[in-house]
Amino acid sequence: MTDAPHATPLADQAEYAQAVQVAVDAAAAYYGSGDSALDDDAYDRLVRGIEAYEAAHPEHALPGSPAGKVAGGAVVGDVPHTVPMLSLDNVFSAEDLAGWVAGLERRLGRPVEAWSVEPKLDGLAVSARYQGGRLAQLVTRGDGVAGEDVSHAIGTVVGLPERLPEPVTVEIRGEVLMTSAQFEAANVARTSFDGVPFANPRSAAAGTLRAKDRKYRCEMTFFGYGALPLPFEDGSPLAVRLRELPHSQIMELVVGLGVQTTGATPVGVIAVATVDEVRARVEEIAGLRAELPFGIDGIVIKADLAADQELAGFSSRAPRWAIAYKLPAVEKITKLVEVEWNVGRTGIIAPRAVLEPVRLDGSVVTYATLHNPADITRRGLMLGDHVTVYKAGDVIPRVEAPVVHLRTGDERAVVFPQVCPRCGGDIDTSQQRWRCVRGRACHAVASVSYAVGRDQLDIEGLGETRIVQLVDAGLIVDFADLFTLTREQILALDRMGETSTDNLLAAIERAKGKPLNKVFCALGVRGTGRSMSRRIARHFASMDAIRAADIDGLQAVEGIGPEKAAMLVEELAELAPLIDKLVVAGVTMTEPGATGPGTGAADEAEADADPAVSLPLTGMAVVVTGSMSGPLEALSRNQMNELIERAGGKASSSISARTALLVAGEKAGSKKDKAAALGVRIATPEEFAAMVHDFI
């Protein structure tokens, strides 16, 4: 978790007035089209700066200020809400949360008996009014008092049925959003008509919900987070239940009516009894954020009991019994300065965005991933564009789309390369990912350097300088040629004496005996790395079996889907000459201990016994943190991951509710605290070594 963000400082009345105008304009764009010149984090900081200035200079407060207003006071609708549709106040740290809880319990005069905790979805708040079981009206939040009628969208939102199984009259409130898959489909549809992609999933959902006469259809999803009776049904049995039931049970009631709620998300709605459980639940949801199929920007914490909610009441813009625990921003707006074209070790020509530096989720981002030339075209990116940038899986920064309405006319088209940026050769543009026609030979030094690295063949004495010498001398074109080098050829190289030559030849000879997973990893197959190479080698046991596998056979390996399997088949066919050279050179092509297809009749009985059943870590996700000690002291992190997978487990780098075990060494840090909060089993390096001693 992060500390509470600072407010934007405002030095004087002129800066304050300008900040009010910027915030109002940004809110109008955000709650209108969904596009804003400010991202959420920048807007929140600006509004907090306005609030701080007004607290210090109340005589300067402008009537149009967004402070203390739902939607920043920017949106006015024409359909009155039956009950004000308020925003939530925010906290940004565990300390803030503890202070809010203490304040609520002081107001109640007693501890809160039960809490509900659920994700805060990043979409558009709406109320769905059912009359006699039929969805009669759909209304946006607007300014909280009245919203916009978007009933034309009825029938286009997954999770919001047009009819309920019972003829009840009720208002269900929730969030309309686009999942990652829906957003991609929406951008394909939109760009095929007008060539301009949506900036982000939220703007896509906001624009789609309001659009009446589009020539294309975009699917959206609804998740309910509340229900209340309509005024003319105030005395009905359902109305009584909605006033008396805890929030968590109301959500179960809504599910029973056939409406999707946040309980249907991978993290669900959970009722807990203590503040410690609330904190653990917050950590759990935050840890799963990157794996969710839609965006969340926080976690909502509510007093679960109706009596607590009634006693706590409301402020002018928010309920006092609920709070939003905001998570660090994973999306920001910055400027696309340039596009660089880099050639990878397999010959792939990959574009990379050069950005105006921006702080994103705790780090400064200057570069971001762009998939391929077709992706640049599809997203309509131009140099000088303001673009939304997000962290994919909370790790890799990627450019999403341009913020088109911020264009000034000075933007320039992205220039695609006409020849390979590295060797000047021809480019194969037949597929979306462009590639130098020379393939790996274009970047032989990088390809060989990768293959001989510590986590692959681990050939000591072969640094990049030596590899450049070998390539320039025409002695190697790929790493298989290393195994045919003679003593005389190496001695002829600059600064190579007899001892260093003999040492290098010995290291190359040792590399022949590396297990299949190391050899496969050294091939640098697209879409694989160390972990995937280990899984493939362990599943098939021999290179012959891997090469014989078709798309269906490869999908039997955990983590390989249809698209990756097809790519692997294609890549292995392309690598056939290199693999054949390795076989001729006598490089090991089997995985010790593996009993997959192709291991021979002698191993059939052992294979039939399914050896995974006896492995100590079978089915367990294991995370390692801190410094190892005892029998594991000399192992690198990658070697620890290999050990975990040899023992049947799955190595992971982050703690979540799915983690089965944390191996915590000295200076374990926050991962150990998080594991303890989630109830994850924690073992010392010595305890873990005892568990897997047969595999060390």
Secondary structure, 3-state, 511-575: HCCCCHHHHHHHCCCCCCCHHHHHHHHHHHCEHHHHHHCCHHHHCCCCCCCHHHHHHHHHHHHHC
CATH topology of domain 80-326: D-amino Acid Aminotransferase; Chain A, domain 1 (3.30.470)
Predicted pLDDT at 119? 93
Q: 655: how many CB neighbours lie within 10 A of its CB?
A: 24
479-491 tens-digit pLDDT: 999 999 999 999 9
Conformational region of residue 619, where left means phi above 0, alpha means psi within -120 to 50, and beta covers everything else: left
Average pLDDT over residues 265-278: 88
Of the pLDDT bands very low, low, confident and very high (cuts 50, 70, 90), residue 2 is: very low
Percent of the chain whose pLDDT exceeds 90 = 42
Average pLDDT over residues 604-632: 71
Is pLDDT above 70 for 6? no
Is pLDDT above 80 for 44? no
C-alpha to C-alpha distance for 81 and 95, rounded to whole angstroms: 35
Predicted pLDDT at 290? 74
Average pLDDT over residues 236-242: 87
Higher pLDDT, 235 or 189: 189
Poorest-pLDDT segment among 161-175, 391-405, 481-495, 498-512: 391-405
Is pLDDT above 80 for 610? no
Q: Do the domains spanning 80-326 and 516-599 agree at the CATH topology level?
A: no
Question: Collapsing DSSP states into helix, strand and coil, what is residue 144?
Answer: coil
DSSP string, 223-241: EEEEEE--GGGTTSHHHHH
CATH topology of domain 613-695: Rossmann fold (3.40.50)
C-alpha to C-alpha distance for 250 and 260, rounded to whole angstroms: 12
Predicted pLDDT at 1? 38
Predicted pLDDT at 105? 95
- 516-599: CATH, from 1.10.150.20, 3.40.50.2000, 3.30.70.260, 1.20.120.80: 1.10.150.20
597-608 tens-digit pLDDT: 644 433 333 333
Is pLDDT above 50 for 636? yes
332-406+415-428: CATH number = 2.40.50.140
Predicted pLDDT at 442? 82
Average pLDDT over residues 7-30: 76
Of the pLDDT bands very low, low, confident and very high (cuts 50, 70, 90), residue 446 is: confident
515-537 tens-digit pLDDT: 999 999 999 887 788 888 988 99
Is pLDDT above 80 for 56? yes
Burial code (b: 16+ CB inside 10 Å, e: under 16) for 318-353 equals bbbbbbbbbbbbbbbbbbbeebebebbbbbbbbbeb
Predicted pLDDT at 30? 60
Contacts of 360 (CB under 8 A, 6+ apart): 329, 330, 331, 332, 389, 390, 391, 397
Please give the mean pLDDT across all residues of the chain.
Answer: 85
Predicted pLDDT at 32? 55
Is pLDDT above 90 for 316? no
Predicted pLDDT at 605? 35
C-alpha to C-alpha distance for 300 and 263, rounded to whole angstroms: 13
C-alpha to C-alpha distance for 527 and 545, rounded to whole angstroms: 19
Predicted pLDDT at 58? 85
Q: Choose among 694, 533, 685: nearest CA to 615.
A: 694
Of the pLDDT bands very low, low, confident and very high (cuts 50, 70, 90), residue 161 is: very high
Poorest-pLDDT segment among 83-97, 218-232, 395-409: 395-409
**Domain 13-74 sits in CATH 1.25.40:** no
Q: Choose among 247, 226, 353: nearest CA to 304.
A: 247
Helix 201-210 and helix 180-194: axis angle, to 10°? 60
Percent of the chain whose pLDDT exceeds 70 = 91
Pick the catalytic residue: 69, 120, 302, 332?
120
Poorest-pLDDT segment among 115-119, 256-260, 558-562: 558-562
Predicted pLDDT at 611? 43
Conformational region of residue 547, where left means phi above 0, alpha means psi within -120 to 50, and beta covers everything else: alpha
Predicted pLDDT at 33? 53
Annotated catalytic residue 120: yes
Poorest-pLDDT segment among 86-95, 250-259, 409-418: 86-95
Q: Where are the domains of the chain?
A: 13-74, 80-326, 332-406+415-428, 439-511, 516-599, 613-695
DSSP-assigned beta bridge partners for residue 301: 117, 323
Is pLDDT above 90 for 499? yes
Predicted pLDDT at 264? 87
Q: 361: how many CB neighbours lie within 10 A of its CB?
A: 18
Predicted pLDDT at 31? 57
Predicted pLDDT at 68? 64
345-401 tens-digit pLDDT: 778 898 999 999 987 766 788 998 888 898 898 888 999 999 888 775 445 688 877
Give the homologous superfamily in CATH for domain 439-511.
Answer: 5' to 3' exonuclease, C-terminal subdomain (1.10.150.20)
